Structure 1
Amino acid sequence: MPYLETQPSILIAGAGIGGLTTALALHAAGFTNIHIFEASSSLTTLGVGINVQPSAVLILRNLGLLEALEKTGIKTQELNFYNRHGDSILSEKRGMEAGYAVPQLSLHRGEFQMLLLSAVKERLGEKVLHLNHALTGFEQNEKHITAQFSRRRDGAPAELSDVVGDILIAADGINSTARRILYPNEGPPRFSGRMLWRGCIERTPYLTGASMVWAGHADQKFIAYPISHRSAEKGKSLVNWIAELRIRGKDDKDLTPPKTDWTKAVSKSVFEGPFESWRCGGLQMKELIDTTEKVFEFPMSDRDPVERWSFGRLTLLGDAAHAMYPIGSNGASQAIIDADTLAKHLSSDISDVESALKAYELERLPPTAKIIMANRANGPDHVLQLAEERAPDGFSNVYDVIPKEELEEIGRVYKKVAGFEMDSVNAKALKTEGVDRRAGLKSPREWI
């Protein structure tokens, strides 16, 4: 880890995957005066599944976390697309099975967050995290920025109500307070008209035991993939599944998301009927739904790209900067890439904070804006919609419906847009081989 003669005070709002990875990336770059402020009063293993692309896994490898991650999640081997009748559209190898130098990983979001938190506490100390501190505002001048915090539950001033630092990184999610202050006329997230219902169930493995299943079309979709290494060691498979349905018309001008509470279970009767007959990839969708104890509801929403993320000593990161539809396994992956890029620019010239934050923005804003728009057009899932439009009653051979070259081109274009083309990732993997060992970065002890 490089030594910095002067240590700027770096404040991070948000202890999600983006905020925690940013702290680890900054530490690896030589920064030690880092404080993380989280609105929640506690952090636990809440949530369901998440998928991380090789481009982001490479960054986590270079932070010394790969061993722990592989003992937590599943190294994804393949992705299979089906129509709603169960006809196979496309099957492609993923991660190391496809030739990447690092895996694609499927994990439990809450466990991933706790793993990152353990690493942060080991490397930066227990006192780096401040819970029950919701960002409410900020003020800045040429030399410093002051972040203002309150307790989320009652709105009273937080224990540290005004904190002065050199840099404020707002990784406070899709409903970011910092972004609302910077863009007061933006309003709530932009609802897609589609709702997601999510759950996890341990069962017998299907297909390879490390396969992702994508089925349906733009208005009705079902996704499933295993997420637990511990379950796999027992000969089982902890399957994360997502049922998606359009609940609001495509022409509806109301883009306000319906009010939901993702921490509370909902009734399966709300959505399971349309999936009753769906079968594909060795899975029966109704069986998965019926045997899952708790199901949680999420409006599928994003935000329009904005012109700027960085304002003086403040910048946005992760969903606060570029909330996108959960298509193409890109939400967490792009936040991790943000963290790595930001640390790189800050460490290259900490004497000019504003220029470093602007350089980070210039590198990351354009590609993430493209991903937001690509995901609105269904991203790699576009193959599902093509099959539905061209052969709504099903098919025997997908190439009679969608030529092989057209199918492959959709995936190839998206990988380029999202930044996980294999040649590029592998070249970076070779160039950075061993940086974690040389820096003395090891996976957190409790996860090994």
Structure 2
Amino acid sequence: MPFLSDPQPRIIIAGAGIGGLSTALALHAAGFSDIHVFEASGTLTTLGVGINIQPSAGLILRNLGLLPALRDVAVETRELNFYSRHGHAILSEPRGASAGYAVPQFSIHRGEFQMLLLDAVRARIGADRVHLDHAFVGYEQDATSITARFARRGAGPGELPEIPAMTGAMLVAADGINSTARRLLYPDEGPPRFSGRMLWRGCVERPPYLTGASMVWAGHANQKFIAYPISGRAARRGTSLVNWIAELRVRDERDPDLTPPPTDWTKHVPKDRFAGPFADWSCGGLRMAELIDSTENVFEFPMCDRDPVERWSFGRLTLLGDAAHAMYPIGSNGATQAIIDAETLAALLAEKASTWQQPGVVEDALTAYQDIRLPAAAKIVMANRANGPDHVLELAHQRAPDGFANVYDVIPKDELESIGAAYKAVAGFEKDAVNKKAAETEHLAARFEAFEAR
């Protein structure tokens, strides 16, 4: 790892989700060691459902020496298949290594991915640097430092909720879509912006379908079903742990109320809330009713995002991940963009490592990070509101609501393929760009593995 001058800058990270933990690992790989991660939850377990890691982020994780662990836990996605609500094929495209990328696309259980990152943080930075049951509640800063304040969740009346603060050189707020830091910076923003669509999600182990590593997208903007396998361990047993998402519009598109309905994504919900409209759906070797019926626990999520803001960085504080750019889960990009944030921030801070104590250096680095990442992320937020690559589903539905025999009679081939290509350019995972960077940084993973062996 690069040698940094002593004393090291103390870096405080609020949030031990994918963004916060990836940031800790990227900073460590860049040579920083005085890193502290604070998490509001008292325990971290394998909660959540499936997510995807695009090759652009998989490359970053490769360079952090995490590719072997990912290959053990996740599925290397081979293809993405789009279908109409009638089960008619719209588009099939290879993904990840099957599409010629130097690094795979991974489908993985979010909780298992978080644990993979957490184990790496504890091993490399120190278990004592991860502070659980520390909810970020506020900060103060001056020209030389920033102090983050924390509280324990659930402190009752008469109890002293605050716990010892920490002072450092900078604070990275990776505290999610309901970020406290963002609320302090933008007190008039209010809650996340509800799309009017609800997601119901579950996982079930079953026999493999299609390639055994295939993603299925079916329906249209207001009624959609998604399924893909997420477990490398299940694959080695000869089965598929299938993550599925049922999506329905529950609020009229013309309703001006964008406030999300009250939900608790940790509680199981009854299937009769949503299953009926999918009773007769089937495609890609899957029957949607069968997936729903065979799943024990189903969770409910309102599909929300936030409007892009003008700034993420305020002095020695910056936002990262969902705190900075919460987006609809369209295009499989949320986790990927947080990992790209982490790499970008670490690289810019490393450039200033020898001069970090000079006035304005930390602030300038955080502003540079913002200036690179904010415009790119804002474009993805808006592209996802316009359905991103899923627009092929909506086009087929609008032009042939009763189905079709050949999709090219409905959507010309060039138009169909241009939608995915345009989104890859916006989201930053065009194959040539990823592969070029993969070749240029191939030494980094080996260097990190050698460091780990010492």
What TM-score do the two structures reach when normalised by structure 1?
A: 0.98
What is the aligned partner in structure 1 of residue 2 from structure 2?
2
What is the aligned partner in structure 2 of residue 76 from structure 1?
77
Going from structure 1 to structure 2, the CA distance change for 1:413 and 1:92 (only over 3 Å counts) comes to: same
- Are 1:163 and 2:166 an aligned pair? yes
Q: Identity of aligned pairs, percent?
A: 70
Query: Aligned equivalents of 1:80 and 1:416: distance in 2?
Result: 20
What is the aligned partner in structure 2 of residue 393 from structure 1?
402
Kindly state the Cα deviation for residue 438 of structure 1 after the two structures are TM-superposed: 1.4
In the TM superposition, 1:337-356 aligns within 5 A as 337-350=340-353, 351=356, 352-356=361-365
- Are 1:313 and 2:321 an aligned pair? no
What is the aligned partner in structure 2 of residue 221 from structure 1?
224
- The one-letter code sitting in structure 2 at the alignment partner of 1:336 is I
Going from structure 1 to structure 2, the CA distance change for 1:130 and 1:157 (only over 3 Å counts) comes to: farther
Query: Aligned equivalents of 2:72 and 2:347: distance in 1?
Result: 28
Offset from partner CA, 1:350-401 (integer Å, 9 cap, x none): 3210000000000000010000000000000000000000000000000000
What is the aligned partner in structure 1 of residue 154 from structure 2?
153
- Are 1:379 and 2:388 an aligned pair? yes
What is the aligned partner in structure 2 of residue 364 from structure 1?
373
Query: Aligned equivalents of 1:152 and 1:379: distance in 2?
Result: 37
Kindly state the Cα deviation for residue 443 of structure 1 after the two structures are TM-superposed: 8.4
Query: Aligned equivalents of 2:31 and 2:313: distance in 1?
Result: 22
Q: CA RMSD in A?
A: 1.2
Identify the match of residue 419 of structure 2 among 398, 405, 410. 410
In the TM superposition, 1:164-183 aligns within 5 A as 164-183=167-186
- The one-letter code sitting in structure 2 at the alignment partner of 1:239 is V
Query: Aligned equivalents of 1:161 and 1:441: distance in 2?
Result: 37
Query: Aligned equivalents of 1:262 and 1:8: distance in 2?
Result: 37
- The one-letter code sitting in structure 2 at the alignment partner of 1:8 is P
In the TM superposition, 1:89-108 aligns within 5 A as 89-108=90-109
Going from structure 1 to structure 2, the CA distance change for 1:159 and 1:119 (only over 3 Å counts) comes to: farther
Query: Aligned equivalents of 2:450 and 2:53: distance in 1?
Result: 21
- The one-letter code sitting in structure 1 at the alignment partner of 2:71 is E
Kindly state the Cα deviation for residue 154 of structure 1 after the two structures are TM-superposed: 1.8
Going from structure 1 to structure 2, the CA distance change for 1:443 and 1:50 (only over 3 Å counts) comes to: farther
Going from structure 1 to structure 2, the CA distance change for 1:443 and 1:376 (only over 3 Å counts) comes to: farther
Contact 1:39 1:134 in 2 (8 A): yes
Kindly state the Cα deviation for residue 439 of structure 1 after the two structures are TM-superposed: 3.0
Query: Aligned equivalents of 1:380 and 1:235: distance in 2?
Result: 31
Offset from partner CA, 1:76-117 (integer Å, 9 cap, x none): 000000000000000000000000000000001000000000
- Are 1:37 and 2:46 an aligned pair? no
Query: Aligned equivalents of 1:294 and 1:441: distance in 2?
Result: 43
Identify the match of residue 201 of structure 2 among 177, 198, 203. 198
Q: How many residues align?
A: 444
What TM-score do the two structures reach when normalised by structure 2?
A: 0.96
Query: Aligned equivalents of 1:278 and 1:421: distance in 2?
Result: 33
What is the aligned partner in structure 1 of residue 264 from structure 2?
261
Going from structure 1 to structure 2, the CA distance change for 1:283 and 1:121 (only over 3 Å counts) comes to: same
For structure 1, the residue ranges without an aligned partner over 5 or more in a row are none
Kindly state the Cα deviation for residue 159 of structure 1 after the two structures are TM-superposed: 7.3
Offset from partner CA, 1:319-364 (integer Å, 9 cap, x none): 0000000000100000000000000000101321000000000000
Query: Aligned equivalents of 2:134 and 2:241: distance in 1?
Result: 34
User: What SS is found at the alignment partner of 2:181?
Assistant: helix
Kindly state the Cα deviation for residue 157 of structure 1 after the two structures are TM-superposed: 4.9
